[in-house]
Amino acid sequence: MFSIIQAAGWPIWPLVACSVLALALVIERFASLKSAKVAPARLLDEVLTVSRNGIPSNDMVAQLERNSALGEVLASGFRALNANPRCSEADLRATMEGAGRLVAHRLEKYLSALATIASAAPLMGLFGTVIGMIEIFGSQSPTGGATGGNPAQLAHGISVALYNTAFGLIIAIPALIFWRYFRATVDGHLLTLELASERLVRHLNTLRKGP
């Protein structure tokens, strides 16, 4: 591997840094976007069951808020009612939507960085290709004679051009695939949070109206 990096020349180092950063972002997003951390499967049903006879205590709401991203959104609705039991449905929805936007911002964290790497890596590979081409032309004899060229410099220029192009694509393609995967995952989680919030709002309105 190190011999390939040496053959690719100095333009490969920014690509190596991008590959390490992209790998770190992918691992971090896989860990952060797990369903158990964002929207546990039975959390909403448990919340509806617990709150069937009234608004949960502040301690239970705080525990719910720490549970997951979904718990944080649901807890914002309970906090709004604890702060103002007469708050309107519009205010309740606005409060939960605000909490949802904060959660959405966290879920989308680093996705723009991953997309930037996917877009920039081919351009960085192209930059390395240009550097290699410059070295190829520099290896030629100024008079155009075949005997005046530098074969070692010519070979190095070719390796710089090809390795950088290939390495840029090797980084960009997986980064783009993972970005699209995480984008779809985040969209799915946000839909889950939106539907759960709607169910809780209806539940709380029914609860306030009484039997």
Q: What is the DSSP string of the chain?
A: -HHHHHHH-TTHHHHHHHHHHHHHHHHHHHHHT-HHHH--TTHHHHHHHHGGGSPPPHHHHHHHHHH-HHHHHHHHHHHHHHH-TT--HHHHHHHHHHHHHHHHHHHTTTHHHHHHHHHHHHHHHHHHHHHHHHHHHHTS-TT--GGGS-HHHHHHHHHHHHHHHHHHHHHHHHHHHHHHHHHHHHHHHHHHHHHHHHHHHHHHHHHHH--
Token pair in block for residue 166: 């290939």
Q: What is the pLDDT of residue 146?
A: 47
Instruction: Identify whether the C-beta of residue 61 lies closer than 8 Å to the C-beta of residue 75.
Output: yes
- The pLDDT of residue 142 is 57
Q: Which residues of the chain have pLDDT under 70?
A: 1-9, 138-150, 156, 209-211
Instruction: Indicate the pTM of the whole model.
Output: 0.83
pLDDT value for 134:
80
Give the pLDDT score at 193: 94
72 CB contacts (<8 Å, ≥6 apart)?
Answer: 65, 99, 102, 103
Domain range for residue 154?
2-209
pLDDT value of position 147: 46
When divided into structural domains, the chain yields a total of 1
Quote the crossing angle between the two packed helices 43-50 and 69-83, to the nearest 10°. 20
> Tens digit of pLDDT for each residue in 128-152?
888 888 877 766 655 554 444 567 7
